[in-house]
Structure 1
Amino acid sequence: MNAYSAVQNYANVKVHSSVETASPHRLIQMLFEGALERIAQAKGAMQQNQIARKGELIGKATAIVGGLQGSLNDKDGGSLAANLDGLYDYIIRRLSQANYENNPDYLDECGRLLGEIKSAWDAIANQV
């Protein structure tokens, strides 16, 4: 086992144990963190012309945003949930466009949008 594999295994165990003990609010924070991290990594891969890696990372970010979208409570969330649903849909489409057009500006836009939502989510942590 090389050092990279060992680090990856450690990271997987750490994330798994964090998920098991996290509150629902913290789980959503972790999804935001994961999406933002994948977007940043995808931008790096894009800049280094690592096409396959870029696509893989954008795919992971897209899946995470889809998970955030799927976690919305349409019944009780009202217009806020509907607005977030539309925003998540936009971000997913923009991530796909970033991948297709190889445009880091679109990744930056998605990161900014998710960062703003995450900041608002973080701000209500004490109320939950």
Structure 2
Amino acid sequence: MLDFANGYQAYQNTSVEGKAAGADIHKLVLMLFDGFLDELARVEGHIQAKRFDKKAAGTERMLKILGGLEASLDQQNGGEVAANMQRLYQHCGQAVLAASLKNDLSQLDTVRVIMTNLQEGWQGLAQNAA
């Protein structure tokens, strides 16, 4: 029997890799924000449905994305902006962990607001750079 879930995951991975290969830094960061917010919605669904194994896997993916966002910061030239972004990413990571440990959706609401605001800021930067 075919495993459609694995096939779809392979398709998504290939699609994302293809997009990333031709993307500039603004697009790559926006892809990370998109992936994070998509995963956040899935984790909320897993918490509500009590699929805790899938919640844990989604939480891990969200933390890895936050790590990628943090790694993309230019600490040497970014000054106070980079330091503030780092603190926001770390705050979101702590809130994601707390939400996962307590199955607390309200913590994820706060993270969604922060990450959506940051995403919108990056979208504005990308538009201005174009």
TM-score under structure 1 length normalisation: 0.95
Match of residue 70 from structure 1: 71
What is the Cα deviation at residue 3 of structure 1?
2.8
1:79 is the counterpart of 2:88: no
User: What pairs with 1:10-89 in structure 2 (closer than 5 Å)?
Assistant: 10-89=11-90
Match of residue 121 from structure 2: 120
Please give the per-residue CA displacement for 1:51-94, whole angstroms capped at 9, x wherever unaligned. Answer: 11111101110110111011111111111111111111110011
For 2:39, the aligned partner's letter is: R
Q: 5+ unaligned residues in a row in structure 1: which ranges?
A: none
My pick for the range that moved more, 8-17 or 87-96, is: 8-17
Q: 5+ unaligned residues in a row in structure 2: which ranges?
A: none
Q: Distance in 2 between matches of 1:60 and 1:5?
A: 17
What is the Cα deviation at residue 7 of structure 1?
2.1
> What SS does the corresponding residue of 2:78 show, helix, strand or coil?
helix
Match of residue 95 from structure 2: 94
For 1:24, the aligned partner's letter is: I
For 2:53, the aligned partner's letter is: A
Percent pairwise identity = 27
